[in-house]
Chain A
Amino acid sequence: MASFLTTLLVVAIVATTPLVLAIPLIWIERKVAARIQDRLGPNRVGPWGIIQPIADAIKLIGKEDITPAGTDKVVYNLAPIVAVASVVLMWACIPFAPNLIGVDLEIGVLYIVSVASLGTMAIMMAGWSGNNKYALLGAFRVVAQLVSYEVPLVLSLLIPVLLAGSMGMQDIVTAQQGMWFIFMAPVAALIFFISAQAETGRAPFDLLEAESELVAGFNIEYSGMKFGLFFAGEFVHVLTNGVLIAHLFVGGWWGLGVSAEGGILSNVLGLIYLVIKTTIFYFISLWLRNTLPRVRIDQLMNFNWKFLVPISVANLVITSLLLKISQVAGFAVDLTTNASFTAALPMTLLLLGGNIALILGVIAIYGFNIRRDRVQEEAQAEAIAHAPSH
Protein backbone atom coordinates (compact mmCIF):
# COMPACT_ATOMS: atom_id res chain seq x y z
CA MET A 1 0.00 0.00 0.00
CA ALA A 2 2.77 2.39 0.96
CA SER A 3 4.65 1.59 -2.20
CA PHE A 4 1.49 2.18 -4.21
CA LEU A 5 1.04 5.59 -2.64
CA THR A 6 4.67 6.47 -3.41
CA THR A 7 4.17 5.42 -7.00
CA LEU A 8 0.98 7.44 -7.20
CA LEU A 9 2.77 10.49 -5.85
CA VAL A 10 5.66 10.11 -8.28
CA VAL A 11 3.31 9.64 -11.22
CA ALA A 12 1.21 12.60 -10.17
CA ILE A 13 4.25 14.86 -9.89
CA VAL A 14 5.85 13.72 -13.14
CA ALA A 15 2.58 13.94 -15.07
CA THR A 16 1.72 17.42 -13.80
CA THR A 17 5.23 18.79 -14.35
CA PRO A 18 4.89 19.35 -18.12
CA LEU A 19 1.49 20.99 -17.78
CA VAL A 20 2.64 23.22 -14.96
CA LEU A 21 5.74 24.11 -16.95
CA ALA A 22 3.51 25.14 -19.84
CA ILE A 23 2.41 28.22 -17.89
CA PRO A 24 5.83 29.91 -17.59
CA LEU A 25 6.73 28.62 -21.06
CA ILE A 26 3.95 30.68 -22.62
CA TRP A 27 5.36 33.77 -20.98
CA ILE A 28 8.95 32.95 -21.99
CA GLU A 29 7.88 32.27 -25.54
CA ARG A 30 6.01 35.54 -25.88
CA LYS A 31 8.78 37.51 -24.24
CA VAL A 32 11.51 36.00 -26.43
CA ALA A 33 9.43 36.47 -29.56
CA ALA A 34 8.82 40.08 -28.60
CA ARG A 35 12.49 40.78 -27.98
CA ILE A 36 13.49 39.24 -31.29
CA GLN A 37 10.89 41.34 -33.06
CA ASP A 38 11.97 44.44 -31.14
CA ARG A 39 8.80 44.68 -29.07
CA LEU A 40 8.21 44.59 -25.33
CA GLY A 41 5.87 41.64 -25.10
CA PRO A 42 3.51 41.09 -22.19
CA ASN A 43 4.29 43.67 -19.51
CA ARG A 44 1.02 44.62 -17.84
CA VAL A 45 0.02 41.84 -15.46
CA GLY A 46 2.52 41.48 -12.66
CA PRO A 47 6.21 42.39 -12.83
CA TRP A 48 7.43 42.02 -16.44
CA GLY A 49 4.02 40.60 -17.24
CA ILE A 50 4.89 37.35 -15.56
CA ILE A 51 1.33 36.72 -14.39
CA GLN A 52 0.06 37.06 -17.97
CA PRO A 53 -0.24 33.30 -18.72
CA ILE A 54 -2.28 32.78 -15.55
CA ALA A 55 -4.58 35.58 -16.59
CA ASP A 56 -4.79 33.91 -19.99
CA ALA A 57 -5.72 30.61 -18.42
CA ILE A 58 -8.47 32.24 -16.36
CA LYS A 59 -9.70 33.99 -19.48
CA LEU A 60 -9.78 30.67 -21.36
CA ILE A 61 -11.84 29.09 -18.60
CA GLY A 62 -14.31 31.94 -18.75
CA LYS A 63 -14.64 31.84 -22.53
CA GLU A 64 -17.68 30.47 -24.21
CA ASP A 65 -16.95 27.09 -25.69
CA ILE A 66 -18.63 26.94 -29.06
CA THR A 67 -19.23 23.52 -30.53
CA PRO A 68 -20.32 24.17 -34.11
CA ALA A 69 -23.37 22.47 -35.51
CA GLY A 70 -22.69 19.20 -37.30
CA THR A 71 -19.62 18.26 -35.30
CA ASP A 72 -19.04 14.75 -34.12
CA LYS A 73 -19.30 15.53 -30.41
CA VAL A 74 -17.36 12.62 -28.93
CA VAL A 75 -14.43 12.77 -31.33
CA TYR A 76 -14.44 16.56 -31.16
CA ASN A 77 -14.05 16.56 -27.39
CA LEU A 78 -11.63 13.66 -27.32
CA ALA A 79 -9.13 15.18 -29.76
CA PRO A 80 -7.61 17.89 -27.51
CA ILE A 81 -7.42 15.40 -24.65
CA VAL A 82 -5.51 12.90 -26.78
CA ALA A 83 -3.25 15.66 -28.08
CA VAL A 84 -2.21 16.70 -24.58
CA ALA A 85 -2.14 13.13 -23.28
CA SER A 86 0.37 12.11 -25.94
CA VAL A 87 2.76 14.84 -24.79
CA VAL A 88 2.23 14.13 -21.10
CA LEU A 89 2.83 10.43 -21.61
CA MET A 90 6.18 11.16 -23.20
CA TRP A 91 7.36 12.51 -19.86
CA ALA A 92 6.81 9.16 -18.17
CA CYS A 93 10.28 7.98 -19.03
CA ILE A 94 12.28 11.15 -19.44
CA PRO A 95 14.95 11.31 -16.73
CA PHE A 96 15.36 14.43 -14.62
CA ALA A 97 18.50 13.43 -12.74
CA PRO A 98 20.53 10.24 -12.08
CA ASN A 99 17.85 8.88 -9.76
CA LEU A 100 14.88 10.96 -10.77
CA ILE A 101 12.82 9.40 -13.52
CA GLY A 102 9.18 8.46 -13.80
CA VAL A 103 9.71 4.92 -15.06
CA ASP A 104 12.99 3.74 -16.56
CA LEU A 105 11.52 1.49 -19.21
CA GLU A 106 13.75 -0.93 -21.07
CA ILE A 107 12.26 0.34 -24.33
CA GLY A 108 12.33 4.00 -23.29
CA VAL A 109 13.09 5.68 -26.60
CA LEU A 110 10.66 3.50 -28.53
CA TYR A 111 8.00 4.24 -25.94
CA ILE A 112 8.51 7.97 -26.37
CA VAL A 113 8.32 7.76 -30.16
CA SER A 114 5.25 5.58 -30.18
CA VAL A 115 3.41 7.69 -27.65
CA ALA A 116 4.29 10.78 -29.65
CA SER A 117 2.69 9.20 -32.69
CA LEU A 118 -0.65 9.33 -30.87
CA GLY A 119 -0.51 13.07 -31.42
CA THR A 120 -0.90 12.51 -35.15
CA MET A 121 -4.12 10.65 -34.47
CA ALA A 122 -5.37 13.52 -32.32
CA ILE A 123 -4.82 15.97 -35.16
CA MET A 124 -6.67 13.72 -37.55
CA MET A 125 -9.57 13.47 -35.10
CA ALA A 126 -9.64 17.22 -34.58
CA GLY A 127 -9.61 17.95 -38.30
CA TRP A 128 -12.27 15.45 -39.16
CA SER A 129 -14.73 16.00 -36.34
CA GLY A 130 -15.21 19.71 -36.98
CA ASN A 131 -17.22 19.09 -40.15
CA ASN A 132 -15.26 21.82 -41.85
CA LYS A 133 -13.45 21.23 -45.09
CA TYR A 134 -10.67 23.67 -44.28
CA ALA A 135 -10.01 21.96 -40.98
CA LEU A 136 -9.93 18.61 -42.73
CA LEU A 137 -7.59 19.82 -45.46
CA GLY A 138 -5.42 21.42 -42.80
CA ALA A 139 -5.33 18.19 -40.83
CA PHE A 140 -4.30 16.25 -43.92
CA ARG A 141 -1.43 18.57 -44.57
CA VAL A 142 -0.31 18.43 -40.96
CA VAL A 143 -0.50 14.68 -40.86
CA ALA A 144 1.42 14.38 -44.13
CA GLN A 145 4.08 16.67 -42.66
CA LEU A 146 4.22 14.91 -39.31
CA VAL A 147 4.50 11.41 -40.72
CA SER A 148 7.09 12.55 -43.24
CA TYR A 149 9.33 14.12 -40.65
CA GLU A 150 8.92 11.18 -38.34
CA VAL A 151 11.09 9.13 -40.71
CA PRO A 152 14.34 11.13 -40.31
CA LEU A 153 13.49 11.65 -36.64
CA VAL A 154 13.38 7.95 -35.93
CA LEU A 155 16.33 7.16 -38.17
CA SER A 156 18.52 9.67 -36.36
CA LEU A 157 17.19 8.47 -33.03
CA LEU A 158 18.62 5.11 -33.95
CA ILE A 159 22.19 6.47 -33.70
CA PRO A 160 22.20 7.09 -29.91
CA VAL A 161 20.53 3.71 -29.48
CA LEU A 162 23.25 2.16 -31.58
CA LEU A 163 26.04 3.86 -29.64
CA ALA A 164 24.61 3.14 -26.20
CA GLY A 165 23.41 -0.34 -27.08
CA SER A 166 20.16 0.25 -25.25
CA MET A 167 16.82 1.95 -25.64
CA GLY A 168 16.48 2.89 -21.99
CA MET A 169 16.76 6.64 -21.48
CA GLN A 170 18.96 6.34 -18.38
CA ASP A 171 21.26 3.90 -20.20
CA ILE A 172 21.66 6.31 -23.09
CA VAL A 173 22.49 9.16 -20.74
CA THR A 174 24.87 7.05 -18.67
CA ALA A 175 26.75 6.01 -21.78
CA GLN A 176 27.66 9.65 -22.40
CA GLN A 177 29.75 9.93 -19.28
CA GLY A 178 33.03 10.62 -21.03
CA MET A 179 31.87 11.82 -24.41
CA TRP A 180 28.62 13.38 -25.51
CA PHE A 181 27.02 11.73 -28.48
CA ILE A 182 26.91 15.02 -30.35
CA PHE A 183 30.66 14.65 -30.90
CA MET A 184 30.22 11.15 -32.26
CA ALA A 185 27.18 11.92 -34.35
CA PRO A 186 26.76 15.62 -35.07
CA VAL A 187 24.80 14.90 -38.25
CA ALA A 188 22.28 12.78 -36.39
CA ALA A 189 21.91 15.49 -33.76
CA LEU A 190 21.28 18.11 -36.41
CA ILE A 191 18.74 15.98 -38.26
CA PHE A 192 17.01 15.13 -35.01
CA PHE A 193 16.77 18.79 -34.11
CA ILE A 194 15.36 19.80 -37.50
CA SER A 195 12.81 17.04 -37.68
CA ALA A 196 11.81 17.53 -34.05
CA GLN A 197 11.16 21.17 -34.88
CA ALA A 198 8.99 20.04 -37.78
CA GLU A 199 7.17 17.55 -35.55
CA THR A 200 6.00 20.38 -33.32
CA GLY A 201 4.69 22.19 -36.36
CA ARG A 202 6.42 25.47 -35.70
CA ALA A 203 8.15 27.92 -37.98
CA PRO A 204 9.77 27.47 -40.41
CA PHE A 205 7.57 24.38 -40.70
CA ASP A 206 4.34 25.95 -39.51
CA LEU A 207 2.45 26.03 -42.78
CA LEU A 208 -0.27 23.99 -41.13
CA GLU A 209 -1.15 27.06 -39.13
CA ALA A 210 0.48 29.91 -40.99
CA GLU A 211 -0.97 32.38 -38.53
CA SER A 212 -0.15 35.39 -40.66
CA GLU A 213 -1.82 33.98 -43.78
CA LEU A 214 -4.56 31.50 -42.97
CA VAL A 215 -7.15 31.58 -40.24
CA ALA A 216 -5.88 28.40 -38.63
CA GLY A 217 -5.25 24.78 -39.46
CA PHE A 218 -6.90 21.66 -38.17
CA ASN A 219 -8.04 23.42 -34.98
CA ILE A 220 -10.13 26.05 -36.74
CA GLU A 221 -13.39 24.95 -35.16
CA TYR A 222 -12.02 24.90 -31.64
CA SER A 223 -12.50 27.69 -29.16
CA GLY A 224 -12.00 28.39 -25.50
CA MET A 225 -10.25 25.83 -23.35
CA LYS A 226 -10.09 23.12 -26.00
CA PHE A 227 -8.18 25.40 -28.32
CA GLY A 228 -5.99 26.34 -25.37
CA LEU A 229 -5.20 22.69 -24.78
CA PHE A 230 -3.93 22.22 -28.33
CA PHE A 231 -1.77 25.24 -27.75
CA ALA A 232 -0.47 24.03 -24.41
CA GLY A 233 0.30 20.67 -25.97
CA GLU A 234 2.39 22.39 -28.63
CA PHE A 235 4.30 24.47 -26.10
CA VAL A 236 5.09 21.45 -23.98
CA HIS A 237 6.08 19.48 -27.06
CA VAL A 238 8.74 22.06 -27.91
CA LEU A 239 10.14 21.80 -24.41
CA THR A 240 9.99 18.01 -24.58
CA ASN A 241 12.04 18.10 -27.74
CA GLY A 242 14.62 20.25 -25.99
CA VAL A 243 14.85 17.74 -23.15
CA LEU A 244 15.08 14.83 -25.57
CA ILE A 245 17.93 16.38 -27.52
CA ALA A 246 19.68 17.20 -24.25
CA HIS A 247 19.38 13.58 -23.19
CA LEU A 248 20.14 11.89 -26.46
CA PHE A 249 23.02 14.00 -27.71
CA VAL A 250 24.53 16.28 -25.09
CA GLY A 251 24.66 14.07 -22.07
CA GLY A 252 21.43 14.88 -20.25
CA TRP A 253 22.18 15.34 -16.58
CA TRP A 254 25.94 14.71 -16.91
CA GLY A 255 28.15 17.54 -15.84
CA LEU A 256 30.88 18.48 -13.46
CA GLY A 257 30.35 16.85 -10.07
CA VAL A 258 27.60 14.44 -11.07
CA SER A 259 28.09 10.76 -10.46
CA ALA A 260 25.94 8.01 -11.91
CA GLU A 261 25.37 6.49 -8.48
CA GLY A 262 23.35 9.48 -7.44
CA GLY A 263 23.11 11.04 -4.04
CA ILE A 264 21.46 14.32 -3.25
CA LEU A 265 24.22 16.51 -4.64
CA SER A 266 24.37 14.57 -7.91
CA ASN A 267 20.64 14.75 -8.35
CA VAL A 268 20.40 18.45 -7.71
CA LEU A 269 23.38 19.24 -9.91
CA GLY A 270 22.08 16.87 -12.59
CA LEU A 271 18.73 18.61 -12.64
CA ILE A 272 20.45 21.97 -12.95
CA TYR A 273 22.67 20.80 -15.82
CA LEU A 274 19.66 19.31 -17.57
CA VAL A 275 17.71 22.54 -17.21
CA ILE A 276 20.62 24.53 -18.64
CA LYS A 277 21.04 22.24 -21.65
CA THR A 278 17.32 22.11 -22.28
CA THR A 279 17.04 25.87 -22.08
CA ILE A 280 19.74 26.27 -24.71
CA PHE A 281 17.96 24.02 -27.20
CA TYR A 282 14.58 25.48 -26.31
CA PHE A 283 15.94 28.94 -26.96
CA ILE A 284 17.44 27.91 -30.31
CA SER A 285 14.06 26.52 -31.26
CA LEU A 286 12.33 29.80 -30.39
CA TRP A 287 15.02 31.73 -32.20
CA LEU A 288 14.50 29.71 -35.37
CA ARG A 289 10.78 30.13 -35.06
CA ASN A 290 10.99 33.86 -34.94
CA THR A 291 13.64 34.49 -37.56
CA LEU A 292 13.17 31.99 -40.38
CA PRO A 293 10.57 32.51 -43.10
CA ARG A 294 7.96 29.88 -43.67
CA VAL A 295 8.63 27.23 -46.32
CA ARG A 296 6.18 26.16 -49.03
CA ILE A 297 4.64 22.72 -48.81
CA ASP A 298 6.52 21.35 -51.82
CA GLN A 299 9.77 22.68 -50.36
CA LEU A 300 8.82 21.10 -47.07
CA MET A 301 8.27 17.70 -48.61
CA ASN A 302 11.28 17.88 -50.88
CA PHE A 303 13.50 18.92 -48.01
CA ASN A 304 12.36 15.93 -46.04
CA TRP A 305 12.28 13.18 -48.62
CA LYS A 306 15.13 14.26 -50.85
CA PHE A 307 17.47 15.68 -48.26
CA LEU A 308 16.87 14.59 -44.68
CA VAL A 309 15.84 10.99 -45.30
CA PRO A 310 18.69 10.06 -47.67
CA ILE A 311 21.20 11.74 -45.39
CA SER A 312 19.89 10.02 -42.31
CA VAL A 313 20.01 6.64 -44.06
CA ALA A 314 23.57 7.34 -45.21
CA ASN A 315 24.43 8.51 -41.73
CA LEU A 316 23.09 5.31 -40.24
CA VAL A 317 25.09 3.22 -42.68
CA ILE A 318 28.33 5.14 -42.14
CA THR A 319 28.01 5.29 -38.37
CA SER A 320 27.23 1.60 -37.98
CA LEU A 321 30.00 0.63 -40.38
CA LEU A 322 32.61 2.71 -38.58
CA LEU A 323 31.40 1.48 -35.24
CA LYS A 324 31.74 -2.11 -36.37
CA ILE A 325 35.18 -1.42 -37.81
CA SER A 326 36.33 0.11 -34.55
CA GLN A 327 34.93 -2.85 -32.67
CA VAL A 328 36.70 -5.33 -34.92
CA ALA A 329 39.90 -3.30 -34.77
CA GLY A 330 39.60 -3.32 -31.01
CA PHE A 331 39.66 0.31 -30.05
CA ALA A 332 35.94 0.63 -29.43
CA VAL A 333 34.90 0.79 -25.82
CA ASP A 334 31.71 -0.45 -24.30
CA LEU A 335 30.20 2.88 -23.37
CA THR A 336 27.89 1.34 -20.80
CA THR A 337 30.73 0.12 -18.60
CA ASN A 338 33.91 1.99 -19.38
CA ALA A 339 33.33 5.40 -20.76
CA SER A 340 36.03 7.77 -19.69
CA PHE A 341 36.95 10.61 -22.01
CA THR A 342 40.31 9.17 -23.08
CA ALA A 343 38.92 5.69 -23.64
CA ALA A 344 36.16 6.99 -25.88
CA LEU A 345 38.40 9.40 -27.78
CA PRO A 346 39.70 7.19 -30.64
CA MET A 347 36.23 5.94 -31.42
CA THR A 348 34.84 9.44 -31.31
CA LEU A 349 37.48 10.73 -33.69
CA LEU A 350 36.72 7.96 -36.16
CA LEU A 351 32.97 8.58 -36.02
CA LEU A 352 33.47 12.32 -36.20
CA GLY A 353 35.66 11.82 -39.26
CA GLY A 354 32.89 9.77 -40.86
CA ASN A 355 30.38 12.49 -40.13
CA ILE A 356 32.61 15.20 -41.59
CA ALA A 357 33.12 13.07 -44.68
CA LEU A 358 29.36 12.71 -44.96
CA ILE A 359 28.82 16.44 -44.66
CA LEU A 360 31.50 17.16 -47.28
CA GLY A 361 30.00 14.55 -49.58
CA VAL A 362 26.53 16.04 -49.26
CA ILE A 363 27.85 19.52 -49.90
CA ALA A 364 29.74 18.27 -52.97
CA ILE A 365 26.72 16.46 -54.42
CA TYR A 366 24.25 19.27 -53.82
CA GLY A 367 26.76 21.89 -54.93
CA PHE A 368 27.29 19.95 -58.14
CA ASN A 369 23.55 19.65 -58.72
CA ILE A 370 22.92 23.32 -58.12
CA ARG A 371 25.77 24.32 -60.42
CA ARG A 372 24.52 21.97 -63.14
CA ASP A 373 21.01 23.41 -62.88
CA ARG A 374 22.35 26.92 -63.10
CA VAL A 375 24.47 26.12 -66.14
CA GLN A 376 21.43 24.60 -67.83
CA GLU A 377 19.29 27.61 -67.03
CA GLU A 378 21.92 29.97 -68.31
CA ALA A 379 22.25 27.97 -71.50
CA GLN A 380 18.49 28.15 -71.98
CA ALA A 381 18.45 31.87 -71.34
CA GLU A 382 21.32 32.24 -73.80
CA ALA A 383 19.47 30.24 -76.42
CA ILE A 384 16.37 32.37 -76.01
CA ALA A 385 18.33 35.60 -76.15
CA HIS A 386 20.22 34.60 -79.27
CA ALA A 387 17.34 32.95 -81.07
CA PRO A 388 16.66 34.38 -84.54
CA SER A 389 13.76 36.74 -84.43
CA HIS A 390 11.92 34.98 -87.28
Chain B
Amino acid sequence: MNILNQWGPIGLFMVFAIVLPAAPILVAAIFAPRKPNDIKLQTYECGVETVGDTWVQFKVQYYIYAIVFLVFDVEMIFLLPWAIAFNELSFFAFGAGFLFIFLLTDALVYAWRKQALEWH
Protein backbone atom coordinates (compact mmCIF):
# COMPACT_ATOMS: atom_id res chain seq x y z
CA MET B 1 0.00 0.00 0.00
CA ASN B 2 1.39 3.30 -1.08
CA ILE B 3 -0.12 5.37 1.67
CA LEU B 4 0.91 2.95 4.39
CA ASN B 5 4.51 2.88 3.23
CA GLN B 6 4.72 6.62 3.57
CA TRP B 7 2.63 7.22 6.65
CA GLY B 8 3.17 4.04 8.61
CA PRO B 9 6.58 5.29 9.77
CA ILE B 10 4.98 8.61 10.67
CA GLY B 11 2.57 6.73 12.91
CA LEU B 12 5.52 5.02 14.57
CA PHE B 13 7.15 8.40 14.84
CA MET B 14 4.16 9.70 16.74
CA VAL B 15 4.49 6.88 19.25
CA PHE B 16 8.16 7.67 19.69
CA ALA B 17 7.51 11.39 19.89
CA ILE B 18 5.20 10.79 22.82
CA VAL B 19 7.23 8.11 24.55
CA LEU B 20 10.57 9.94 24.37
CA PRO B 21 9.47 13.01 26.36
CA ALA B 22 7.22 10.94 28.61
CA ALA B 23 10.09 8.70 29.67
CA PRO B 24 12.15 11.34 31.49
CA ILE B 25 9.01 12.56 33.25
CA LEU B 26 8.34 9.06 34.48
CA VAL B 27 11.95 8.53 35.48
CA ALA B 28 11.90 11.81 37.35
CA ALA B 29 8.67 10.80 39.02
CA ILE B 30 10.38 7.68 40.34
CA PHE B 31 13.62 9.25 41.51
CA ALA B 32 12.53 12.70 42.53
CA PRO B 33 11.73 13.39 46.15
CA ARG B 34 8.13 14.20 46.89
CA LYS B 35 7.49 16.23 50.00
CA PRO B 36 4.60 18.54 49.21
CA ASN B 37 3.30 21.05 51.71
CA ASP B 38 0.73 23.78 51.48
CA ILE B 39 3.20 26.59 50.96
CA LYS B 40 5.03 24.73 48.24
CA LEU B 41 1.86 23.96 46.36
CA GLN B 42 0.73 27.56 46.24
CA THR B 43 0.35 29.15 42.87
CA TYR B 44 3.26 31.39 41.97
CA GLU B 45 1.83 34.83 42.71
CA CYS B 46 2.83 38.20 43.99
CA GLY B 47 1.67 38.48 47.55
CA VAL B 48 -1.75 37.17 48.38
CA GLU B 49 -2.95 33.89 47.00
CA THR B 50 -5.71 34.18 44.42
CA VAL B 51 -9.11 33.18 45.72
CA GLY B 52 -11.05 30.84 43.48
CA ASP B 53 -10.35 30.27 39.84
CA THR B 54 -7.98 32.40 37.86
CA TRP B 55 -9.99 35.29 36.59
CA VAL B 56 -8.54 37.76 34.16
CA GLN B 57 -10.24 39.69 31.43
CA PHE B 58 -8.41 39.44 28.15
CA LYS B 59 -7.94 41.94 25.42
CA VAL B 60 -9.95 41.33 22.29
CA GLN B 61 -6.76 42.20 20.43
CA TYR B 62 -5.50 38.64 20.83
CA TYR B 63 -8.59 37.41 19.05
CA ILE B 64 -8.18 39.86 16.18
CA TYR B 65 -4.61 38.75 15.56
CA ALA B 66 -5.84 35.18 15.60
CA ILE B 67 -8.46 36.00 12.96
CA VAL B 68 -5.95 37.57 10.61
CA PHE B 69 -3.68 34.60 11.15
CA LEU B 70 -6.53 32.19 10.48
CA VAL B 71 -7.32 33.87 7.18
CA PHE B 72 -3.72 33.68 6.01
CA ASP B 73 -3.45 30.11 7.20
CA VAL B 74 -6.52 29.07 5.23
CA GLU B 75 -5.10 30.88 2.23
CA MET B 76 -2.25 28.36 2.35
CA ILE B 77 -4.70 25.58 1.43
CA PHE B 78 -4.96 27.13 -2.01
CA LEU B 79 -1.60 28.77 -2.47
CA LEU B 80 0.41 25.61 -1.81
CA PRO B 81 -1.21 23.52 -4.56
CA TRP B 82 -1.04 26.59 -6.80
CA ALA B 83 2.70 26.91 -6.14
CA ILE B 84 3.33 23.24 -6.79
CA ALA B 85 1.45 23.23 -10.07
CA PHE B 86 3.06 26.54 -11.03
CA ASN B 87 5.20 25.21 -13.87
CA GLU B 88 2.21 23.71 -15.62
CA LEU B 89 -0.14 26.63 -15.25
CA SER B 90 -1.35 28.72 -18.16
CA PHE B 91 -1.14 32.48 -17.91
CA PHE B 92 -4.87 32.56 -17.11
CA ALA B 93 -4.47 30.14 -14.20
CA PHE B 94 -1.51 32.15 -13.00
CA GLY B 95 -3.66 35.28 -13.08
CA ALA B 96 -6.33 33.51 -11.06
CA GLY B 97 -3.79 32.94 -8.33
CA PHE B 98 -2.84 36.58 -8.52
CA LEU B 99 -6.42 37.71 -8.08
CA PHE B 100 -6.67 35.40 -5.09
CA ILE B 101 -3.65 36.98 -3.41
CA PHE B 102 -4.90 40.45 -4.31
CA LEU B 103 -8.29 39.87 -2.69
CA LEU B 104 -6.63 38.71 0.50
CA THR B 105 -4.22 41.61 0.53
CA ASP B 106 -7.35 43.73 0.49
CA ALA B 107 -8.38 42.26 3.81
CA LEU B 108 -4.96 43.02 5.24
CA VAL B 109 -5.12 46.59 3.99
CA TYR B 110 -8.56 46.97 5.55
CA ALA B 111 -7.33 45.69 8.90
CA TRP B 112 -4.36 48.03 8.70
CA ARG B 113 -6.44 51.08 7.82
CA LYS B 114 -8.93 50.33 10.60
CA GLN B 115 -6.03 50.12 13.04
CA ALA B 116 -7.02 46.56 13.90
CA LEU B 117 -3.36 45.60 13.84
CA GLU B 118 -2.29 48.11 16.48
CA TRP B 119 -1.41 46.82 19.88
CA HIS B 120 -3.43 48.91 22.32
Q: B24-60: contact bitstring with A at CB < 8 Å (1 yes, 0 no)?
A: 1101110111111010111111000010011110100
Cα–Cα distance between A380 and B95 once the two chains are bound (Å): 47
Q: Judging by beta carbons under 8 Å apart, are B31 and A61 in contact?
A: yes
B contact patch SS: helix
Q: Which one of A159-167, A240-248, A341-349 is at the interface?
A: A159-167
Contacts of B96 in A (CB 8 A): none
Q: Judging by beta carbons under 8 Å apart, are B44 and A63 in contact?
A: no
- Given A148-B69, A155-B72, A158-B83, A103 contacting B16 (CB threshold 8 A): no
Contacts of B24 in A (CB 8 A): 57, 60-61, 225, 228-229
Q: B73-103: contact bitstring with A at CB < 8 Å (1 yes, 0 no)?
A: 1001001100111110101001001100100
Cα–Cα distance between A379 and B71 once the two chains are bound (Å): 41
Cα–Cα distance between A316 and B83 once the two chains are bound (Å): 10
Say if the beta carbon of A33 comes within 8 Å of chain B: no
Identity of the chain B residue whose Cβ is nearest the Cβ of A229 in the assembled complex: B21
Instruction: Tell me, rounded to whole Å, the shortest Cβ–Cβ distance linking B87 to chain A.
Output: 5
- Given A66-B40, A133-B56, A327 contacting B18 (CB threshold 8 A): no
Identity of the chain B residue whose Cβ is nearest the Cβ of A63 in the assembled complex: B32
Partner among A8, A10, A334 whose Cβ is within 8 Å of the Cβ of B87: A334
Q: A97-134: contact bitstring with B at CB < 8 Å (1 yes, 0 no)?
A: 00000110110001000000000000000000011111
Contacts of A66 in B (CB 8 A): 36, 40-41
Contacts of B17 in A (CB 8 A): 15, 84-86, 88-89
Instruction: Tell me, rounded to whole Å, the shortest Cβ–Cβ distance linking B19 to chain A.
Output: 9
- Given A16-B20, A84-B21, A317-B98, A131 contacting B69 (CB threshold 8 A): no
- Given A15-B13, A131-B53, A61 contacting B84 (CB threshold 8 A): no
Identity of the chain B residue whose Cβ is nearest the Cβ of A20 in the assembled complex: B20
Say if the beta carbon of B65 comes within 8 Å of chain A: yes
Contacts of A62 in B (CB 8 A): 28, 31-33
List CB contacts (< 8 Å) of A23-78 with chain B: 57, 60-70, 77
Contacts of A323 in B (CB 8 A): 86
Q: B99-112: contact bitstring with A at CB < 8 Å (1 yes, 0 no)?
A: 00100010010001
Instruction: Tell me, rounded to whole Å, the shortest Cβ–Cβ distance linking B92 to chain A.
Output: 11
Identity of the chain B residue whose Cβ is nearest the Cβ of A327 in the assembled complex: B87
Cα–Cα distance between A321 and B27 once the two chains are bound (Å): 55
Contacts of A130 in B (CB 8 A): 43
Partner among A57, A221, A225, A320 whose Cβ is within 8 Å of the Cβ of B86: A320
Q: Which one of A193-201, A256-264, A302-310, A360-368 is at the interface?
A: A302-310
Cα–Cα distance between A166 and B86 once the two chains are bound (Å): 10
Of B16, B98, B112, most buried by chain A (CB within 10 Å of CB) is B16
Say if the beta carbon of A215 comes within 8 Å of chain B: yes
Contacts of B32 in A (CB 8 A): 61-65, 224-225
Say if the beta carbon of B1 comes within 8 Å of chain A: no
Cα–Cα distance between A208 and B55 once the two chains are bound (Å): 20
Contacts of A306 in B (CB 8 A): 112, 117
Cα–Cα distance between A135 and B54 once the two chains are bound (Å): 10
Q: Judging by beta carbons under 8 Å apart, are B20 and A324 in contact?
A: no
Identity of the chain A residue whose Cβ is nearest the Cβ of B56 in the assembled complex: A133
- Given A10-B9, A65-B32, A144 contacting B25 (CB threshold 8 A): no
Q: Judging by beta carbons under 8 Å apart, are A144 and B117 in contact?
A: no
Instruction: Tell me, rounded to whole Å, the shortest Cβ–Cβ distance linking A58 to chain B.
Output: 9
Q: Judging by beta carbons under 8 Å apart, are A68 and B112 in contact?
A: no
> What are 13 A-B residue pairs whose CB atoms fall within 8 Å in the complex?
A7-B9, A15-B16, A19-B21, A84-B17, A85-B21, A88-B20, A92-B9, A132-B54, A167-B84, A215-B44, A301-B119, A313-B108, A328-B91
List of 8 A-B pairs having minimum Cβ-Cβ separation, nearest first? A225-B28, A84-B21, A85-B17, A298-B119, A15-B16, A147-B69, A88-B17, A162-B83
Residues of A at under 8 Å CB distance from B?
Answer: 7-8, 10-12, 14-16, 19, 57, 60-70, 77, 80-81, 83-86, 88-89, 92, 102-103, 105-106, 110, 130-137, 140, 143-144, 147-148, 150-151, 154-155, 158, 161-162, 165-167, 215, 220-221, 224-226, 228-229, 297-298, 301-302, 305-306, 309-310, 313, 316-317, 320-321, 323-324, 327-328, 334
Having A89-B13, A137-B58, A302-B117, one finds 12 other A-B pairs with CB under 8 Å, namely A84-B20, A88-B20, A92-B10, A102-B9, A103-B6, A147-B65, A148-B69, A151-B69, A301-B65, A301-B117, A313-B105, A320-B83
